[in-house]
Amino acid sequence: MKLPRLLIPRFLHPGYFSRARTNQKITDTSWLNGLRGIASLIVFNHHFVVPFTDMVWLPYGSEGHWAFMELPVVRLTYAGVPMLGFFFIIGGYTNAISHLRLMRATDAVSRSKLLRNLSSSAFRRWFRLYLPVFSMMLLVSLLARTGLFAYTKPFVARGSQNLMLHGFPERHLETFNTVWEQLSWLVLDASGMANLFDFKRYYPAHDPHLWTIKEEFRAALSLFILLLATASMKVSVRIVIFGLVALWQTWNKVWPIALFTCGALVAECHISFQEMTSPLRTDEERAIKAGEQYTTPIMKLCSWTQKYCGHWLSFSLFLVSLWLLSTPNQGYTTASGYQILASTIPDWAPFKEMWLTNIGALLFISVMLGQAKDSLYHQAFTNVYAQYLGELSFAIYIIHGPMLHAFGYMLPLWFWQVFGDDGLIKFTLGLSLIWIINLLILLTCADLFQRHIEHRCGNFTHRLESRWSAA
């Protein structure tokens, strides 16, 4: 009975989510894992609908675009571009937070631990990112030899004349005549993906969506160097340096690295804020316990702000972040509600279509970090379903592209060939039904991949580091 259970995704195991809810341990940053999982799912939604409609790119109110799903905030359910900002900012935050906490201590033991942790993080990063990706690429190459991608290529490949594809057809996987040619192509593709000395953006032929892997690895190494360089500096100096470096990186059009640095900057500010407010709370509690009236001006201001303005200010900034995240990729300069915002984008800004969404991602994460872990804001991302998606987030991200090209894009076409795609109802119904089927298949594949490949890659990296370590 053990083998079949290993081949069944966890969300189908009886009582899995009930047990997960019972054993769940929520920390102040658990919501980041849930946010990453939901963002991965939204990226899947984006790539699922993009060949069939152009509503992903164009704003609500433009010609022929008046559907409810195209409204700001609502469009975030399938807007994949803003999710990239989340991935890079969260990556910078999580890669920096533990090191920044150790930098607060000046004793020899903490400094030694900081160096070991930085070394370990830099060593494990390549294996953590590339081993699962290369495993997926090898699996895709072997499946290509079975003809899995050949049948769908005439329908969904770029340049297809299929009239049911109203959006942007994606690049399809190439199939070669022999296994040797297929694997040789895999090696060349993997080499280009891992070549950090080529600063041009590289779109892997096995899955162009994985261009972010190389960018994330380069950004992580840049961040580790920055952390090492500022480890002995004062917190205030480090904050200024992080901000200036992020601006310099933005000016030089390396926005993924800039967002990573911004994530570290947010982590540093978050720690500093916790250190600043914790003693104030302690003093207030002592004063209340002693029956004294707490009259310190700073504390009165903080208490008044938290009592009367804190909730509404946070909620207002939360809504502003969602509005910024909803900025359309095209036509944002003339879109209703975005014309004034678009005019504030600097002329030198790289990738102007992502400027407002990246600011929205930064604001969203900053607002969330200021909320209590039992708040409604966090509960949306700390429930067992969001946490499950967070556990599968990397697997979802690297698997969804090949899965869609293998059969995911064909399922709506088959539906419309049988029932027709004339009219909004038939088109939406077909897309929605097939989305549910694709989602179930994706979660099944991602669950099995995470447990049997990604998890084992992590264990291998840990054993390799332990064996090679001199300590």
- Report pLDDT digits (tens) over 80-120: 999 999 999 999 999 999 999 999 888 888 889 999 999 99
The DSSP secondary-structure symbol of 157 reads B
Angle at 328 between CA 325 and CA 333, to 5 degrees: 110
Q: Residue 154: its pLDDT value, please?
A: 66
CA distance 130 to 137: 10
- Give domain status of residue 346, yes or no: no
- Give domain status of residue 441, yes or no: yes
- β-bridge partners, 170: 157
User: The tokens of 1 are what?
Assistant: 């009975």
- Give domain status of residue 339, yes or no: no
Q: Residue 198: its pLDDT value, please?
A: 87
Contact 450, 40 (CB under 8 A): no
Residue 312 phi/psi, 5-degree rounding, is: -70, -35
- Give domain status of residue 383, yes or no: yes
| pLDDT < 50: residue spans in the chain | 1, 159, 161, 163-164, 280-282, 284-296, 298-299
Contact 77, 38 (CB under 8 A): no
Q: Residue 286: its pLDDT value, please?
A: 44
- Give domain status of residue 63, yes or no: no
Q: Residue 26: its pLDDT value, please?
A: 87
The dihedral built from the CA positions of residue 401, 403, 406 and 411, taken in this order, carries a sign that is: negative
3-state SS, residue 340: helix
Domain count, the chain: 1
- Give domain status of residue 439, yes or no: yes
- Give domain status of residue 321, yes or no: no
- Give domain status of residue 344, yes or no: no
Contact 167, 50 (CB under 8 A): yes
Q: Residue 349: its pLDDT value, please?
A: 87
Residue 157 phi/psi, 5-degree rounding, is: -70, 155
Single out the residue of 201, 245, 239, 252 nearest to residue 223, CA to CA: 245
Query: Domain range spanning residue 84?
Result: 2-13+36-52+80-294+371-462
How far, rounded to the nearest angstrom, does the alpha carbon of residue 350 sit from its chain's CA centroid?
Answer: 20
CA distance 387 to 36: 9
CA distance 384 to 18: 9
CA distance 220 to 357: 21
